[in-house]
A and B are shown apart, each in its own frame.
Chain A
Amino acid sequence: MITTGMEDNFNYRLWRYDGAPGELIPLLQSAQDHFGYIPRRAISYISGVTGIPESEVYGVITFYSQFRLQPMGKYLIRACAGTACHVSGSKTIIETIEDEIGIEVGGTTEDGLFTFNTVACIGCCSLAPVIMIDDDTYGRLTPSSLRKLLRQVKRKEQRATATEAEAGCRDRA
């Protein structure tokens, strides 16, 4: 039986591909869901199965902003750069994030914790300026409330790592 879960599975989609046109973008989307980004080998798989040259697959990947060729951090921070957020000071918000986590827009922190991007509009204009951390939206931010928020996430992670390390020590003991 075919279930919804299988429909989303990259390998299943590749296997089921029947030459129907227009499947390249959905294939790339499921590859990205599967790997978190589109690795080199996924391009080869897709090209091999669909017969679309790798160069053309690469062309489609780089055309659309959704696709990533690099792995992503544990948390994806997306700062809204829409009009309403812009007039409410999104530039300062973006600079604050860059300063707090030490990377520029489009980058991933060395510890693999954060990836930072901007997005054209999240659609919560009445809460501007807005950012998203994964699927959660945070609105009406100021530089100081934003720093607090980011530090909270960092602390949560540090605590989690510390607990893990502790648990590891106990296991060894």
Chain B
Amino acid sequence: MTKVIVGMGTCGLSAGARQVYEKLEGILGANPGAFELSGTSCIGMCYREPLVEIRSGGERTIYGGVTEELVQEIFDRHVRGGEILEEHVALGISEGEIGSGSETEFQSLQEKIVLRNCGTIDPESIEEYEKAGGYEGLRKALLELTPEGIIDEIKASGLRGRGGAGFPTGLKWSFAAGNDADKKYVVCNADEGDPGAFMDRSVLEGDPHAILEGMMICGRAIGASFGYIYCRAEYPLAIRRLTIAIDEAREKGYLGEDILGSGFDFDIKIKQGAGAFVCGEETALFASIEGQRGMPRIRPPFPAEKGLWGKPTNNNNVETFANIPWIIVNGAGAYAAFGSEKSRGTKVFALAGKVLRGGLAEVPMGTTINDLVHKIGGGIKEGRKFKAVQMGGPSGGCIPADLGQTPVDFESIPATGAIMGSGGLVVLDDTTCMVEMARFFLEFTQNESCGKCTFCRVGTLRMLEILTRITKGEGEPGDIEKLVELGEKIKEASLCGLGQTAPNPVLTTIRYYRDEYEAHINEKRCPAASCEALVDFNIDPEKCTGCTLCAKNCPVDAISGEPKKLHVIDNSICVRCGKCITSCNFDAVYKS
């Protein structure tokens, strides 16, 4: 029977997938048995949401930008009449091969291992996961492999931690396996806190069983019988789907005692984070699970020796665990065939910012930044100029467009001063001010600093003060040197990853865009025309209706004009408060 599948990830829902689904329920109610209706999660093409897939036999047609009206048409013409509405097709897949559609380019360089099930199965159904080969990895790990065998396989695959640091996963497991204790733990870090990153959310929402299966295999390998998933509370849908998945896995005997008759016991509990970026750091995360303030502690002892509740613990990121079942089933060689020499496999990136096609893309390690931005992302919005990418969120840095040939892997990216990070890739165009960008990230880390180390607590605040001054046009000669000195000291003298990387956005922008800093300080000018204190405000004559609202709201009477006629801003009086921009009902005020 024809299946109609609606993309119901967070991005789909916010674009109106719920209304589309309800409309389909209505159609199905009026035409019982006409098709089978189900939901799936993020299909990856967030920019084309809501997405609706019509699947019959080996033919899959994914429609993009679906409205309630279009749904009716799709039903009448496609489901009933068998006619494909070419102009709305985002992707046509025939027997697993991508054939037609407007979005073939977005998929062109992608290889799906982590996202293998995202957007194709119903994440709330364990049967669909099993049909897609789910829990085969667990079966093989429990019944055919020894714990050492599992670790050898992961080591041979070359998989490195996908949370950002890139530590070899197999090696990490062997440490925890080597420490004897009455209890050991497996922890999954699902506290995706980077602003601008949503890979883990999509996997949690789209393929929760893969994470459970990965954790179980890890438990078997290191000799642990209990696992925690630490998920941020801002992801309610992910938590709901994980809860369903855990219940289903228990019912089917994949979790609990004597799993698959192997004598291996394992259970998993979800812990909700309470909103603290520093809890992405593993020792802080353990403190939070233990019910305390999430503050990091000195390592050693490393978690493999003394982790959660003082017991040997192995902590990996969501994406790392999602890779595990695939590697066990398909073998280390198949995985290592992807990627570059020292960074094997694939990596999921969350493309966002000024890029035309924002969404999730999984590419082999070693793909260049240019390919990600131009081929997959389709270039820059509104035909503007590509300026830089920001990688690694507040711990990362900006890589300028002329380094666009840099391959994304654990060796090349750190060489630019940025970090791989968890996979957030925010594209910036020529309207983005790099000083303001650095200030933005520092404000974030300053806010999220737990306060334990003086350099991080006080140092980041001093840096933020200097940056704020510069963006307001009050920068002084010597500010750049002060920022570099403070940044280097904070990196050296902080205990955890947060402090050690917090100055990165500032240091990389100084490295590549020193001229922008100098323009702000010496010429009191913002080259990107973004910093409000340093630009002129203007009114677009095409958009202005002469409603007088901006003039009424201006605190210094800098705006003049007759009612129903074009208004003008006198920039010599203007205090750059931005009131006119926020009060205009026609979006007519702009900065230059």
- Kindly list chain A residues whose C-beta atoms are within 8 Å of the C-beta of B288: 25
Query: Are the CB atoms of B309 and A84 closer together than 8 Å?
Result: no
Query: In the bound complex, do residue B272 and residue A29 qualify as a contact, i.e. CB atoms below 8 Å apart?
Result: yes
Q: A28-B274, A99-B579, A126-B358 are in contact. Are A63 and B15 (CB under 8 A)?
A: no
Asked whether, in the complex, the Cβ of B444 is within 8 Å of the Cβ of A125, the reply is no
**In which size bucket is the chain B interface?**
35 or more
CB pair A127 B432 closer than 8 Å:
no
Contacts of A136 in B (CB 8 A): 14
Nearest chain B residue, comparing its CB with the CB of A28: B274
**A86-114 at interface with B (beta carbon < 8 Å):** 86-88, 92, 95-96, 99
Please give, as numbers and ranges, the residues of chain B lying within 8 Å of A60 by CB-CB distance: 291-293
Q: Restricting to A35-86, which residues have a CB under 8 Å from any CB of B?
A: 59-60, 63-67, 81-84, 86
Contact (Cβ within 8 A) A87 B358: no
Contact yes or no, A96 B582, CB < 8 A: yes
How long is the Cα–Cα vector from A63 to B296 in the complex, in angstroms?
Answer: 13
From known contacts A59-B293, A124-B11, infer whether A92 and B582 are also in contact, taking CB-CB under 8 Å: yes
Q: Are A126's CB and B196's CB within 8 A?
A: no
Residue B52, interface by CB 8 Å: no
Cβ-based interface call for B294 (8 A): yes
Contact of A84 among B13, B193, B196 (CB under 8 A): B196
Asked if residues A125 and B275 are in contact (CB atoms below 8 Å), the reply is no
Is B290 a contact partner of A87 (Cβ separation < 8 A)?
no
CB interface residues, B 14-31, toward A, < 8 Å: 14-15
Q: Across the two chains, which residue of chain B brings its CB closest to A89?
A: B581
User: Would you call A142 an interface residue if the criterion is a C-beta within 8 Å of the partner chain's C-beta atoms?
Assistant: yes
Q: Determine, out of B212-220, B402-410, B583-591, the stretch whose residues face the partner at the interface.
A: B583-591
CB pair A137 B14 closer than 8 Å = yes
Query: Looking at B234, B274, B351, B353, which has the most chain A CB atoms within 10 Å of its CB?
Result: B274
CB–CB B291/A24 < 8 A = yes
User: Could you give, for residues 564-590 of chain B, a 1 whenever the CB lies within 8 Å of some chain A CB and a 0 otherwise?
Assistant: 000000000000001101111111000
- A125-144 CB mask vs B (1 if < 8 Å, else 0) is 11110100001111100111
B contact residues around A130 at 8 Å (CB): 14
Q: Are B14 and A125 in contact (CB under 8 A)?
A: no
B19 smallest CB distance to A (angstroms): 11
Asked if B343 CB lies within 8 Å of chain A CBs, one says no
B440-A86 in contact (CB<8A): yes
Q: Which residues of A contact B587 (CB under 8 A)?
A: 142-144
Residues in A whose Cβ lies below 8 Å from that of B196: 82-84, 121, 125
B428 with A124: CB separation less than 8 A: no
Cβ proximity bits A10-45 to B, threshold 8 Å, 1 near / 0 not: 000000000001111110110000000000000000
A165 near B: Cβ within 8 Å? no
Interface flags for B64-79 (1: CB within 8 Å of A; 0: not) read 0000000000000000
* Contacts A120-B444, A139-B15; A83 near B352 (Cβ below 8 A): yes
Q: Report the interface size for chain A: residues with CB under 8 A from the other chain.
A: 46
**B7: Cβ under 8 A from any A Cβ:** no
* Cβ–Cβ < 8 Å partners of B13 in chain A: 137
The verdict on A25 contacting B274 (CB below 8 Å), with A86-B440, A87-B428, A144-B585 known, is: yes
Contact B14 A139 (CB under 8 A): yes
Name B11's closest neighbour in chain A (CB-CB). A124
Contact A125-B198, Cβ < 8 Å, known A87-B428, A92-B582, A137-B14 = yes
Pick from B11, B192, B292, B582: contact of A127, CB below 8 A.
B11
Contacts of B46 in A (CB 8 A): 124-127
- Expressed in whole angstroms, the Cα–Cα distance for A27 and B358 within the complex equals 38
Chain B residues positioned under 8 Å from A65 (CB to CB): 274-276
Report chain A residues within 8 Å CB of B271.
Answer: 22, 25-26
Known: A95-B578, A96-B582, A127-B14. A87 touches B426 (CB 8 A): yes
Of listed B196, B235, B275, B289, residue having the most chain A CB within 10 A: B196
Contact status of A143 and B440, CB under 8 A, knowing A59-B293, A121-B197: no
Q: Does B393 contact A (CB under 8 A)?
A: yes
Q: Which residues of A contact B277 (CB under 8 A)?
A: 120
Name which residue of chain B comes closest to A95, CB basis: B582
Report A-chain residues with C-beta under 8 Å of the C-beta of B184. Answer: none
The answer to the question of B354 belonging to the interface, with a C-beta cut-off of 8 Å to chain A, is: yes
Known interface pairs A28-B274, A83-B196; 6 further A-B residue pairs with C-beta atoms within 8 A, sorted by A's residue number: A22-B289, A22-B290, A24-B292, A92-B581, A120-B444, A128-B352
A selection of 12 A-B contacts at a CB cut-off of 8 Å is: A21-B291, A22-B289, A67-B275, A82-B195, A84-B196, A92-B582, A96-B582, A99-B579, A124-B46, A125-B352, A126-B359, A144-B586
Residues of B within 8 A of A (CB): 10-11, 13-15, 46-47, 49, 192-198, 201, 233-236, 271-277, 288-294, 309, 350-354, 358-359, 390, 393, 424, 426, 428, 432, 437, 440-441, 444, 450, 578-579, 581-587
